[in-house]
């Protein structure tokens, strides 16, 4: 479910990129200073050890932060949008289920990466490396097979919170096998409901999220982030690649970005702010 938006801080981006550069840099520096051809086989081992440290820290961070927790600003916005009182117990259940999905996926990702790095470490021992690669492939297959479970568990986690918004899940995307292997997502997660006497529908794809509210509003088309801030508050960066169309028949909000559905609350709030008689977020 597209709630609980979380964005990385500038420091996290610096550490992510810095760690990657350090890993590659150390490997290259080690390879350059080797003069004996017989020692060249140690380069893949250094690469594998560096990768283990880098990805180990990355997956540990993901697992430890996987509380399913909503940002305070998102939680405050949710409470403003909620049509009924939402208890702490409901929020806690959502956090627990959402966090479980993230931890399972982080664990499978760590296992796949670890097996791949181990195969590189033991590249000089052909049979061991081969078995490790096949084990990694098996984990990837399991990973892909768990995608429907992850989607359904995430939706179950948010069912009570969605009810608080007056909406429910109306449809799920389908997964189809790719010709070259793997799965591809076709369609979107769809939500429908009624808020304050007006029908609302949302569709969340992998890169596009659409929110439609059948409530009358002044006629306008807005796609400038600063102009959207004037309508719904927040920061200009919150409204990048967002288009608002409003008129007598209703309001439409379209957001184009990876994981656009994570901004469900913001887009719903923008739609209601654009409709008649809804106050600005910053008020």
For residue 83, the 8-state DSSP code is: S
Which band of pLDDT confidence, cut at 50, 70 and 90, is reported for residue 98?
Answer: low
Which band of pLDDT confidence, cut at 50, 70 and 90, is reported for residue 241?
Answer: very high
Instruction: Locate the DSSP E strands across the chain.
Output: 167-171, 174-177, 183-186, 189-195, 198-204, 208-213, 220-222, 242-247, 250-256
Per-residue pLDDT at 23? 87
What pLDDT digit, counting tens, does each position of 112-145 carry? 888 888 888 887 666 787 888 888 888 888 877 7
Which band of pLDDT confidence, cut at 50, 70 and 90, is reported for residue 282?
Answer: very low
Q: Percent of the chain, pLDDT > 70? A: 81
Most confident of 126-135, 152-161, 199-208: 199-208
Other CB atoms within 10 A of residue 142 CB: 12
User: Are the C-beta atoms of 204 and 179 separated by less than 8 Å?
Assistant: no
Per-residue pLDDT at 276? 67
Query: Residue 204 pLDDT more than 60?
Result: yes
194 or 283, greater pLDDT: 194
Which band of pLDDT confidence, cut at 50, 70 and 90, is reported for residue 283?
Answer: very low
Of 201, 135, 215, 212, the closest CA to residue 168 belongs to: 201
Q: What global pTM score does this model have?
A: 0.67
What pLDDT digit, counting tens, does each position of 16-41 carry? 888 888 888 988 888 888 877 777 77
């Amino acid at each position: 479910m597209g709630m609980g938006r979380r964005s990385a801080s500038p420091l996290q981006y610096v550490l992510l990129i810095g760690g990657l550069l350090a890993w590659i840099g150390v490997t290259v520096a080690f390879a350059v200073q080797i003069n004996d051809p017989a020692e060249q086989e140690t380069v893949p081992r250094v690469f594998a050890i560096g990768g283990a440290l880098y990805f180990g820290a990355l997956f540990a961070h993901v697992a430890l932060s996987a509380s399913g927790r909503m940002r305070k600003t998102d939680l405050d916005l949710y409470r403003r949008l909620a049509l009924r009182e939402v208890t702490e117990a409901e929020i806690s259940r959502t956090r627990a289920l959402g966090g479980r999905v993230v931890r399972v996926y982080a664990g499978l990702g760590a296992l796949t990466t670890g097996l791949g790095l181990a195969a590189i470490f033991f590249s000089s021992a052909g049979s061991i490396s081969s078995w490790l690669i096949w084990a990694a492939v098996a984990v990837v297959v399991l990973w892909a097979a768990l995608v429907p479970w992850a989607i359904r568990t995430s939706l179950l986690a948010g069912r009570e919170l969605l009810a608080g918004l007056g909406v429910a899940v109306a449809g799920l995307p389908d997964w189809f096998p790719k010709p070259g292997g793997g799965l591809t997502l076709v369609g979107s997660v769809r939500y429908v409901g009624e808020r304050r006497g007006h029908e609302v529908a949302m569709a969340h794809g992998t890169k596009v999220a659409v929110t439609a509210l059948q409530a009358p509003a002044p006629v306008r088309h807005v796609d400038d982030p600063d102009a959207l801030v004037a309508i719904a508050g927040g920061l200009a960066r919150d409204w990048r690649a967002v288009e608002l169309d409003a008129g007598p028949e209703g309001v439409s909000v379209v957001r184009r970005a990876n994981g656009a559905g994570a901004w469900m609350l913001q887009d719903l709030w923008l739609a209601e702010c654009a409709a008649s008689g809804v106050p600005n977020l910053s008020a």
